[in-house]
Amino acid sequence: MRLGAVIITMGNRPDDLRALIESVRKQDGDPVEVVVVGNGAPVTGVPEGVRTIDLPENLGIPGGRNVGIEAFGPGGTDVDALLFLDDDGLLPHTDTAELVRQAFTADPRLGIISFRIADPDTGVTQRRHVPRLRASDPMRSSRVTTFLGGANAVRTRVLAEVGGLPAEFFYAHEETDLAWRALDAGWMIDYRADMVLFHPTTAPSRHAVYHRMIARNRVWLARRNLPAPLVPLYLGVWLLLTLARRPSVPALKAWFGGFKEGWTSPCGPRRPMRWRTVWRLTRLGRPPVI
């Protein structure tokens, strides 16, 4: 099984980027080809033999990753699977690529693998990095309904079949959009605790656009993918959860601005999932109203 790796960067973590690339190069088995996409910034200082693409503007996380996918042929089909890794991450074990190969080979319907993210100093996995509702035990592997954007492996047949990431999202929820389309096409998603990416503990709200985009893209996600009766249920639950978390007044104002934008701006093509996919998500522990 041929593997590639896509890393997007804004050029502000050169030391971390080099360390990540070296950790990919140290993987057991056949070499993993690396493509680094400079998202609005030139890529410099990477090891010889690494392919680089400099984008004149920042296309956002999904847009940058889509460019990286196409570097491996249409839909990434020059390889069998792609690793998507954050540029400040690190693969601490040399067998991760081999575990990916084994997992995809053993299960032909497995389309996406979500790695476990752990802090390099403490080893702690944040609850938000376990992509399921029952997240108290990050060491338990399981089937899941979404995945982590900067620590995963995707079979390129999935991308060829259902398309890439939604570039218009720019940041937030693009992984769930792809996950739902993959599940609707019959693919499975696994969370694997034994496939680890080291990543410093951070808060998503560190991004200035977090509250607006998290709300806008949540609406887009529902409008694009859910059967019509579930759209108000799904968004109503998230509205109540947001209020229950008691965000600051500026954060709440940004959130409601994004929520309104999600309804008034184009969200891309609508392809509602089948009701049997809704049932499948429910059996996996996350009905698409939560």
pLDDT in tens, the chain (290 residues): 999 999 999 999 999 999 999 999 999 999 999 999 999 999 999 999 999 999 999 999 999 999 999 999 999 999 999 999 999 999 999 999 999 999 999 999 999 999 999 999 999 999 999 999 889 999 999 999 999 999 999 999 999 999 999 999 999 999 999 999 999 999 999 999 999 999 998 876 555 589 999 999 999 999 999 999 999 999 999 999 999 999 999 999 999 999 999 999 999 999 999 999 999 999 999 999 98
Angle CA 75–281–131, to nearest 5: 70
How many angstroms separate the CA atoms of 192 and 194, rounded?
A: 5
The whole-number pLDDT of residue 205 equals 56
**In the chain, what are the helix, strand and coil shares in percent, each to the nearest 5?**
40, 20, 40
Of 42, 28, 22, give the one whose Cα is nearest residue 89. Answer: 22
How many angstroms separate the CA atoms of 249 and 229, rounded?
A: 31
Of 72, 16, 6, give the one whose Cα is nearest residue 39. Answer: 6
Of 147, 118, 54, 274, give the one whose Cα is nearest residue 155. Answer: 147
Q: Which residue has the tokens 């696994």?
A: 190
Structure tokens, 25: 């190069």
The region that residue 76 occupies, defined by phi over 0 for left and psi between -120 and 50 for alpha, beta otherwise, is left
Q: Which residue has the tokens 């690529």?
A: 97
Q: Which residue has the tokens 């690396």?
A: 34
Structure tokens, 251: 């954060």
Q: Could you give the C-alpha distances from 197 to 73, 124, 152, 173, in angstroms and in order?
A: 26, 12, 9, 20
The whole-number pLDDT of residue 207 equals 54
Of 176, 201, 206, 180, give the one whose Cα is nearest residue 278. Answer: 180
DSSP string, 163-203: ----GGG-SSSHHHHHHHHHHHTT-EEEEEEEEEEE-----
Of 27, 14, 15, give the one whose Cα is nearest residue 5. Answer: 27
The whole-number pLDDT of residue 203 equals 74
Angle between helices 174-184 and 210-225 (to 10 degrees): 20
The whole-number pLDDT of residue 206 equals 54
The whole-number pLDDT of residue 144 equals 98
How many angstroms separate the CA atoms of 245 and 242, rounded?
A: 5
Assess contact for 229 and 186: CB atoms under 8 A.
no
